[in-house]
Every structure is written in C-alpha cells, then in structure tokens.
Chain A
Amino acid sequence: MTSFDWSAVSDFMPEFWDGVLITLQVLVLGSLISFTLGLVWAIAFRAPTRFVRWPVNVFTEFIRTTPLLVQLFFFYFVLPEWGIQFSALTTGTVAIGLHYSTYTAQVYRAGIEAVPKGQWEAATALSLPPHRTWMAVILPQAFRRVMPALGNYVIAMLKDTPILLAIGVLEMLNQARQFGGQSFQYTEPLTVVGVAFILIAYPASLLVRALERRLVR
C-alpha cells in the first residue's frame, strides 16, 4: 500500500502539457477531417445512382463496425508496404478522422432528411443548379440540426485519442505511461490523465447540451 505522491504529479506536469497539446491537435484536425469527409459520404448516400450509393454504404458501414485500433494498425503498417509513408501523428489523425466521418455521415444524413420536402421542391421550382440547392438551401438548414450531435462525436473522439498510443503517438495517456516506465510511478500520472479527461469532457458535454437547447427546437 503506497500513498499518493504529489511530487510525482508536479514532476509529470511538463510531459502532461505536451500530451495535452498533442491530444488537442489530434482532436481539432481529426474533427475537421471527420466533418468534411462525413459530409462527402452523406451527399454520396443521396447520389442518383446505386453504383455510388451501395459502395459508399458498405464502406462506411465496414469502417463503423470495425475497431479503430485495428484500423490504426492497418494504416500504420500496411500503407508503408504500399510505399506511402506518414508520421505516426499524421496516420493517427487521419485514421481517427476517417473513423468518425462514418458517424458524422449518419448525423448529416439525418439532418438532411429532416429538411422539409418542400424546400427541395422549391429549389427545383426556382430551377436552382444542384450546388446552389445544396449550399444555399439544404445545408444551412441541416447544419442547425446537426451541430449538437456533431459536438457529441467530438467528445467521443476526445475519449478515443488515447488509442493512438498503440502506434506511438505521445498524447496524454502515452506520456503518462512513459513517465510511469521511467519513474516506476504509474499511479500519479495515470490519475492525472484520468481526471484531465473528465475535466475536459464534462464541461464540453454541458456545452453541447446548452447548444442543443438553443439550436434544436
């Protein structure tokens, strides 16, 4: 039985903040990738031909039902065999962005389906070209509805960033693990990281709930 050693906490702080920076970097870039790629999938779900709809459906469903960890290994080990070499951080960010894009695609799909049919008909009646229909009529109305759900997935993504330690990205949890390996003190850094996740995720979820009350009525 050992007690909690506060000096180990202060020793861990420099590495901890490095880890926080990497985590936030992965989170922001991963969110951007998932938001844009998800929109691409969502529009492809509504493509006029089934030769686009079906492959996109199967592909996103496959990504969504398989573990991020295995996908990470796939990108990290297989792509170099095909001659594409990225850093661990880039691979991790792209993988997490791709993984979550299949979730945001479902969110966008629901948001687009919730736009009243009359809006599509009005756009047709005004003979707007397709890109104007999407950009000026459908998407602005859909975005309002999807914002809170997207926020929830950003929080979920934050909680999945520790998986990146499997390919050696030095985010929060990996920093804690490394610190533990060097000093043989795992308790303090791991507790700090656990608390840090709650301290980031809980206010963020309150924010999303407030957003939900404001935007979805």
Chain B
Amino acid sequence: MTAGLWQNWVLPGIWITVQLLFYSAVVATAVAFAIGMARTHRSRLVRFLAGFYTEIFRGTSALVLMFWLFFVVPPLMGWQLVPMYAAVLALGLSYGAYGAEIVRGALNSVAPAQREAGVALSFTPWQRMRLILLPQAVPEMMPSFCNLLVELLKGTALVSLLGVGDVSFAAYLVRLATQDSAQIYTVSLVIYAVLAFAVTRSMKALERKTKRNIGIEPEPGLFGRVFERQAQDKVTGTTMPGGAS
C-alpha cells in the first residue's frame, strides 16, 4: 500500500469514523437519557410512549433504519439528508433505544429509600432526578455504556454502504486500487480494534471519575495499578488503599 492511498483515503477515513462515532454517541446519549428517564415517569402515558419508542427502535435493524432514512424520507418529506446526517441520526436513534434500557435499569437500581428521602425533603421530581438519582445511577451505567459504545463504533462501519467515506469505505477503495484484499482488510480490522481499545480505556477512566464524584473509591486503572505496584515495592510492602490516584 502506497503513502498516497494512506493520505488520501485511509487517514481521512479514520477521521470520518471518529467523527461519526462522536456525533452519533452524542445523539444516542441524549436519546438514552431522555427516553430512559421518561420510562420512570409518573404518568402512564409518558411511560407507554417511551416504551413504544424503545421497542420500535430496538426491534428494527440499524441498517434498515439507515436505508429508510436515506431512501424513504426524501420522497415523503421533500428534502434529502446528507448521507452523514442520515447515518448519525439512524445510529443515534437506534443505539439510543438500547441506551435507554441501560438508563432505566440503573435508575431502578438506586435504593428506593434515596427517592423517598428526596420526597421527604420536598424536592421537586426534577431536583430528585438531577441531585439524587442520576449521580448514583450514572456510575452504574458506565460498564454497559462502554459495551454499547464499542457496538456503536462497529455500527459506524455500516455507513460505508451509503457511500460515506469512513474506514470501511476507504478499505473498499484501496482494495479496488491495489487488488490486494488481505493487507488492507487486516489493516482496517486492526484500526477498528485500536479505536475500540481507546474507547474502552476512556470509558473506564470516566467510570472511575463518576464513582469518585459520589465518594466511592474506584479500583485503580491501568496506570494506577502500575504506580501502586511501585509504591508497594519501595516502602514497606503494604499498599495504600486505592494506590496512587
């Protein structure tokens, strides 16, 4: 593979993939929190509508939704979405529905006494959600969100079928140019694996941060473990709880 192919296709492809991941993660997070909180709402109607949304978007495939937004919406509505936006919208809406289930589960797992304490202090429902429930629920969501984000990263590869120039699309073009599939497809698989590793690591860091915010001392991360081991060797052989944090 020549340098020109790298510079013109593969590197911009990586950038497009990262952008897609970022934008659709933002959309998905917004949808997940809105729908997930709506599923714990007092009103039956709100709960039903939110449940309906999750079942519809979890029931259908992200790729079908993407095709639908790309081919069906333009003639029905009279306007055309840029492929990139159609992709972000489809990914955000369907992965948001998965995220909503995570948010709902985490909100339900907060001890009921916490909510009751909020009622006793006459917090408004929104204050209870913002000040009591969410800070405790968010660290619970982090491991599941981490998995979902890796799924979302894998989902971004689908956009190449709509002609968005991401890593998979670049791989396709390079294959046509070089007639050598093994090399470029191995490279692009490795690119995705590295991106996924970066995503997992940053989500782990975020999880530790959110835990520390509510006073739970998290397990040390990758670097924390290294420092902890050094601290142990140098001094008396006992470790400080939590290590260097």
**A residues in contact (CB < 8 Å) with B:** 1-2, 62, 65-71, 73-74, 77-78, 81-82, 158-163, 165-166, 173, 176-177, 180, 186-187, 190-191, 193-194, 197-198, 201-202, 205
8 A–B contacts from the bound complex (CB under 8 Å): A65-B192, A66-B154, A69-B160, A70-B168, A70-B192, A77-B185, A165-B63, A186-B71
Interface size on B, residues (CB 8 A): 42
Q: Does B215 reach chain A (CB closer than 8 Å)?
A: no
Check if B55 sits within 8 Å of A202, measured CB to CB: yes
Given contacts A69-B168, A187-B71, A190-B64, contact A197 B192 (CB under 8 A): no
Check if A73 sits within 8 Å of B72, measured CB to CB: no
Which residues does chain A contribute within 8 Å of B188, judged by CB atoms?
A: 70
Instruction: Give the tally of cross-chain contacts (CB within 8 A).
Output: 119
List B residues 139-165 near A (Cβ within 8 Å). Answer: 150, 153-158, 160-161
Which residues does chain B contribute within 8 Å of A201, judged by CB atoms?
A: 58-60
> Out of B65, B77, B171, which one reaches A194, CB within 8 Å?
B65
**B residues in contact (CB < 8 Å) with A:** 55-56, 58-65, 67-68, 71-72, 75-78, 150, 153-158, 160-161, 167-168, 171-172, 175, 181-182, 185-186, 188-189, 192-193, 196-197
In angstroms, Cα B182 to Cα A190, docked, is 34
In angstroms, Cα B58 to Cα A214, docked, is 23
CB distance from A196 to the nearest CB of B (A): 9
Check if B161 sits within 8 Å of A166, measured CB to CB: yes
